[in-house]
Amino acid sequence: MPASEKFPMSAESRSARKNVDESLVLRTYRDLKEIARLFLARERIGHTLQPTDLVHEAWLRMADDAGPDGRTRADFGVLVGQTMRRILVDHARKRAAVKRGGGARRLTLHGGMFTNSDKDFIDLIELDDALNRLAEMNPRHAKVVELRYFAGMTVDETAAALNVSDWTVKGDWRVARAWLMTQFEN
Amino acid sequence: MSADRYKRASSLFLEACQLPENQQAEFLQNACENDHDLLQQVTRMLAQDRNSDELPPIEDFGKLLQSDKGLISDLMSSVSADSVSADSVSQAETENLPEIDGFTITARVGKGGMGVVYRAIQHSTQRAVALKAIRFWQFASAESHRRFLVEIKLAASLEHPNIARIYDSGQSGGMPWLAMELVEGVDLSDWTQSSSLDVRAKLSLMASVCDAIGYAHRRGIIHRDLKPGNILVTSKGKPFVVDFGLARLLESDAHSESVLTAAGTLLGTPGFMSPEQARGDGPATDVRSDCYSLGSILFWMLTGQHTHDLTGSLLTVMKRVAEEEPRRPTFQDRSIDRNLEALVMKAVSLRPEQRYQTADDMAADLRRYLNGEPITATKHINMLDHENVRRRRIVTGSILTLLAVAVIIIYSRSFGVDGNKHEPLAVQDVDTETSDDHVTQRSDETSPSWHGWSTQTPAPAIAPFDATDARQHQEAWAKHLGTPVEYTNTIGMKFRLIPPGEFLMGGTKDEIGKIIQGITRGLYYEVEVGWAKSAGPAHRVALTKPIYLGVHEVTQQQYEDVVGKTSNHFSPAGAGKDMVIGLDTTLHPITGVIWYDGIEFCNQLSIKENLPSAYHLGIDKVPAKVTLLDGTGYRLPTEAIWEFSCRAGNTTVDSIGGQNEQIIRESWIHTNSSSRTHAVGQLKPNGFGLYDMRGNVWEWCQDAWAAEYHSRFSDTIAVDPPGPAFDEESFQSVYAQGQSRIIRGGCFMSPAGLCSASYKEAVMATNGNYHLGLRVSLSVEAVRQAIAAGSKYSSGH
């Protein structure tokens, strides 16, 4: 893709990213470990836990500590969103590969009895592929989806992170979401 | 779809969104003219827009977290300081995918020690490739840089079914890159862990890898960095070796420290490095170095362990690899036979001249072994046997030392000379005469009216009481019941008699308030506050039936003895095996059991000992309906029994804040556990002689959970409270009354506050994880019968 079409990361954002407070990151890391413990211990049925829950939880804790200003938080969010997407998709791909390889999984007596929802779920691999296609056509739209879906950012936070107006984020999200959904129709 | 068409569709879509629904169709008809595809695309987008404004959720993310422990660690490390601060520059660089002439990069697919890998389309051929951008190239000297480029050109000439082709290479802005065959698969490490493979499958895969390396060697190319991460395996089980020649970039030359540092970071583990490489002896690195690495990979695949102990600083480990003979694989896995052991040991010989001289030789021996033919490595066996004699002597020596140490430890424990302030050991301090007085005195205070008990029985254990009292109560009741204070069942599980008694159950307002203060306002705030509150109000509870409670949490060994083989998280075969390397985990508590597993364990154990079951487990529906029976067999303790047993008369230890030190000292919790379970019974027992009531693992109780259950007892004494009724029907919500089950005692990851005797959490009966185990109880009747049967048995001889 030509450079001109690439989504430009604001210079401000770039430099701010380097300044993400290290102690903040360490604290968040520690917090996330604790959150992970909670998640492992207490999965709720009827509530489909999402990665954004994890990120939100981290942010709530950051806010509790009277922590970062909006800027740092936005930069942190960008990193989290992007990493979250990559990790989740990598794992989905690995699992798919393992499944095809016939790797046997031990099922416990009661395993699997709660896969009960008739809700539609997203296929991570499909989403990732579609997002890659979207990024080729409009990188900013893809970025908005990544931030909102994988980092759980609000419109305001997304706007701050991308250095654009709220209005732009709303429009981008609406178009990108509708387009992505058409990609999953079949 | 092109960018232009997407743009056109986007603006039409947004315009149409502004219009009332009934005008949209007409507007689009006009705007799209004859472009039917565009019309259709925008119409579909509008339909989607009307449906919802969200994307659907990811399926069972929570389950994913549970089932895929690697995911958590990846998530965690991704947000670690390393990836955000130190790595922030490269993150920023890679976020906007790099541009490399001749390729369209579509996605980042991974990051290895050597660089970042992207999925890309090569323009000239239109094929999908894996494009590797080399990290840390700026640390390499001009000379190693040049050598690297030469090496890559050579490597590009390799054509072998088990080697990922290099299609092209070059530099972009000084950064070297190479375009490789895109292998859809996982690396050997993931493959080994995710597939249930038998030894033959592993050996045959390694034979193919040896073929590939042998082929490269014949063409004069040494890999230099063979490790599981550099071997990709497709879903069909076909291996591909990648990254030939890349290690060249890391080899140190006159230029020094930065390279060394970078190399240290990059190579990560020296677990697969040959001794000559560990010594930094570049000139001595030859094809046999690769053979060594192949051997060490094989060693690792067979045993899950490395040839050398990898603990300690990088330099220490490198020294060890460079100078010490590898461990023997049978040390880890006795099932490996002597021929296979000889084969592996030959491959990883310290001295290159004793190894396979070519990878082809090793491949041939692997195939001979697979075909049941004699292998060349057997000569090696004789040598090993000589070695063996010498080692046995050393081992004998060490065992003697160990015994001596053990004696000293036992000695110092008995006499309390290890520096800790001990409560005096009960046995030493019990003066029978006074103790009788003491109990009688209590008895006078409370009997005969104590819950209808006759004065003929010993006094109930009424809190507060101390360890000495606790012991006296146990002995008085044991004597009265004609059963021992401590009973060992047929599979070696120990139980202690818990006397009847009375205590203040639950947390005081103050304690609960402090726990709530410590809860973070997050996703689970309401839920956790609910749990904390359900520990109150503190109220008197009387337990009128003596019972035996397990001295220890049920161990992995005991669980397997009863239920059969499991793959526990913290065991050599479990996902947490890295946390317990070299440890005998059979005495660690079993984890990962769901509540139903606990019930099942109780019933199986009862059956094994011919005891009437305490539970009926309905199998006609899901989830199984559990009914309490009168059987004298094994049970999970009720939470009242659990808390009474945990407190052992203590009413103060749980005040949050001031007195946690005792918990910290006496339990495996987050401050001392190294994030794993520990063998049961290593720390100090409580007044009743029970170990690990707090920490190590959470323990299932029999009771269901209901928020308001205990408030009904606020102004009365609860006698043998059974907990709320189970409610398997309403499993829509975990937090429905009676739906989830209670866990107690905290675990190795808990802060001290959560290990307080009154704190409880509620977990779905169908959830289990590696923080959660169990401890079981047994009726006095069952023990009495067993003792009677046992004494008949012995008197008959």
A36/B95 Cβ within 8 A: no
Place of tokens 């929570």: B62
Q: In whole angstroms, what is the distance from residue B210 CA to residue B162 CA?
A: 9
Chain A residue at shortest CA distance from B235 = A101
pLDDT band at B477 (very low <50, low <70, confident <90, very high): very high
Instruction: Judge contact between B148 and B176, C-beta under 8 A.
Output: yes
Instruction: Return the pLDDT at B5.
Output: 92
DSSP state of B232: E
DSSP codes, A62-122: HHHTT---HHHHHHHHHHHHHHHHHHHHHHHHHHHHHHHTT---PPPTTTTTT----S--B
Chain A residue at shortest CA distance from B565 = A106
Question: Which tens digits make up the pLDDT trace of B157-215?
Answer: 889 999 999 888 887 776 778 888 888 888 888 888 776 778 898 999 999 999 999 99
Instruction: Return the pLDDT at B451.
Output: 64
ipTM: 0.71
Burial class (CB in 10 A: 0-12, 13-18, 19+), B207: buried
Instruction: Judge contact between A84 and A151, C-beta under 8 A.
Output: yes
Instruction: Return the pLDDT at B695.
Output: 92
A121/B734 Cβ within 8 A: no
Task: Tell me how close the Cα of B765 comes to any Cα of chain A, in angstroms.
Answer: 10
Lowest mean pLDDT among A53-57, B296-300, B573-577, B788-792: A53-57
**Which among B106, B594, B734 is the nearest to A45, CB-wise?**
B734
Whether pLDDT at B456 is above 60: yes
Positions in chain A short of pLDDT 50? 1-30, 33, 37, 39-48, 63-68, 99-119
Average pLDDT value for residue range B643-663: 73
Structure tokens at B254: 């006159």
A119/B520 Cβ within 8 A: no
Whether pLDDT at B407 is above 80: no
A101/B194 Cβ within 8 A: yes
Chain A residue at shortest CA distance from B751 = A34
pLDDT band at B362 (very low <50, low <70, confident <90, very high): very high
A11 touches chain B (CB under 8 A): no
Which residue, among A93, A105, A109, would best test binding to B if mutated, counting the most B CBs under 10 Å from its CB? A109
Cis, peptide link before residue B464, omega less than 30° from 0:
yes
Average pLDDT value for residue range B511-521: 76
Instruction: Return the pLDDT at A97.
Output: 62
Residue B299, phi-psi category: left (phi > 0), alpha (psi -120 to 50), beta (remainder): alpha
How far CA B339 is from CA of B300, B359, B375, B385, in Å, comes to 17, 18, 7, 13
DSSP codes, A143-182: HHHIIIIIS---HHHHHHHHTS-HHHHHHHHHHHHHHHHH
Q: B197 Cβ partners below 8 Å, 6+ apart? A: none
B194/A94 Cβ within 8 A: yes
Instruction: Return the pLDDT at B249.
Output: 55
User: Active-site residue B225, yes or no?
Assistant: yes
Instruction: Judge contact between B295 and B362, C-beta under 8 A.
Output: yes
Structure tokens at B615: 């539970």
Q: B246 Cβ partners below 8 Å, 6+ apart? A: B114, B134, B148, B152, B225
Q: Which A residues, 78 through 137, put their C-beta within 8 Å of a C-beta on chain B?
A: 78-80, 82-84, 86-88, 90-91, 94-95, 97-98, 100-104, 106, 108-110, 113-115, 119-122, 124, 127-128, 132-134, 136-137
- Coil vs helix vs strand at B601: helix
Chain B residues within 8 A of A45 when measuring between CB atoms: 731-734, 764
Task: Tell me how close the Cα of B148 comes to any Cα of chain A, in angstroms.
Answer: 29
Q: In whole angstroms, what is the distance from residue A123 CA to residue A138 CA?
A: 21
DSSP state of B171: E
Residue B451, phi-psi category: left (phi > 0), alpha (psi -120 to 50), beta (remainder): left
Instruction: Return the pLDDT at B482.
Output: 92
Question: Which tens digits make up the pLDDT trace of B207-265?
Answer: 999 999 999 988 888 888 888 888 999 888 899 998 886 666 554 433 333 233 333 33
Closest alpha carbon to B647 in B461, B772, B512, B494: B461
pLDDT band at B485 (very low <50, low <70, confident <90, very high): very high
Place of tokens 């011919």: B610
B110 touches chain A (CB under 8 A): yes
Average pLDDT value for residue range B495-504: 94
Which residue, among A94, A105, A180, would best test binding to B if mutated, counting the most B CBs under 10 Å from its CB? A94
B48/A182 Cβ within 8 A: yes
Chain B residues within 8 A of A97 when measuring between CB atoms: 184-186, 234-235
- Helix ranges restricted to H, B219-337: 256-267, 275-278, 287-303, 314-323
Instruction: Return the pLDDT at B653.
Output: 57
Instruction: Return the pLDDT at A175.
Output: 95
Which one from B187, B225, B360, B703 is the annotated catalytic residue?
B225
Q: In whole angstroms, what is the distance from residue B305 CA to residue A109 CA?
A: 31
Instruction: Return the pLDDT at A176.
Output: 96
This prediction's pTM: 0.45
Between helix A11-18 and helix A70-100 the angle, nearest 10°, is 80
Instruction: Return the pLDDT at B640.
Output: 95
Our separate counts of H helices and E strands in chain B read 27, 22
How would you label B546-558 residue by residue, b for 16+ Cβ within 10 Å and e otherwise? bbbbbbbbbbbbb
Q: In whole angstroms, what is the distance from residue B44 CA to residue B58 CA?
A: 23
A18/B732 Cβ within 8 A: no
Question: Which tens digits make up the pLDDT trace of B415-433?
Answer: 333 333 333 322 222 233 3
Q: In whole angstroms, what is the distance from residue A161 CA to residue A64 CA?
A: 21
Closest alpha carbon to B769 in B737, B743, B734, B736: B743
Q: In whole angstroms, what is the distance from residue B36 CA to residue B45 CA?
A: 14
Which residue, among B55, B527, B599, would best test binding to A if mutated, counting the most A CBs under 10 Å from its CB? B55
Question: Which tens digits make up the pLDDT trace of B698-736?
Answer: 999 999 888 778 877 777 788 888 888 776 655 444 445
Question: Which tens digits make up the pLDDT trace of B25-69?
Answer: 999 999 988 899 999 999 999 999 988 888 877 765 655 555 555
pLDDT band at B682 (very low <50, low <70, confident <90, very high): very high
Question: Which tens digits make up the pLDDT trace of B431-454?
Answer: 333 333 332 233 334 444 566 566
B13/A175 Cβ within 8 A: yes
Task: Tell me how close the Cα of A151 comes to any Cα of chain B, in angstroms.
Answer: 12
| Longest CA span, chain A | 57
A16 touches chain B (CB under 8 A): no
Task: Tell me how close the Cα of A86 comes to any Cα of chain B, in angstroms.
Answer: 8
Between helix A155-162 and helix A166-183 the angle, nearest 10°, is 100
Q: In whole angstroms, what is the distance from residue B519 CA to residue B526 CA?
A: 10
Beta bridge pairs of residue A135: none
Chain B residues within 8 A of A90 when measuring between CB atoms: 74, 109-110
Q: In whole angstroms, what is the distance from residue B473 CA to residue B15 CA?
A: 83
Q: In whole angstroms, what is the distance from residue B480 CA to residue B482 CA?
A: 6
Chain B residue at shortest CA distance from A75 = B84
Place of tokens 């990069």: B105
Instruction: Return the pLDDT at B421.
Output: 33
In a 13 Å sphere around the CA of B628, the CA atoms on its Cβ side amount to 13
**Which of the listed ranges B332-336, B676-680, B735-739 does the model predict with the highest average pLDDT?**
B676-680
**Which among B55, B59, B108 is the nearest to A149, CB-wise?**
B55
B729 touches chain A (CB under 8 A): no
Chain B residues within 8 A of A24 when measuring between CB atoms: none
Chain-wide mean pLDDT for chain B? 76
pLDDT band at B687 (very low <50, low <70, confident <90, very high): very high
Cis, peptide link before residue B239, omega less than 30° from 0:
no
Average pLDDT value for residue range B383-398: 40
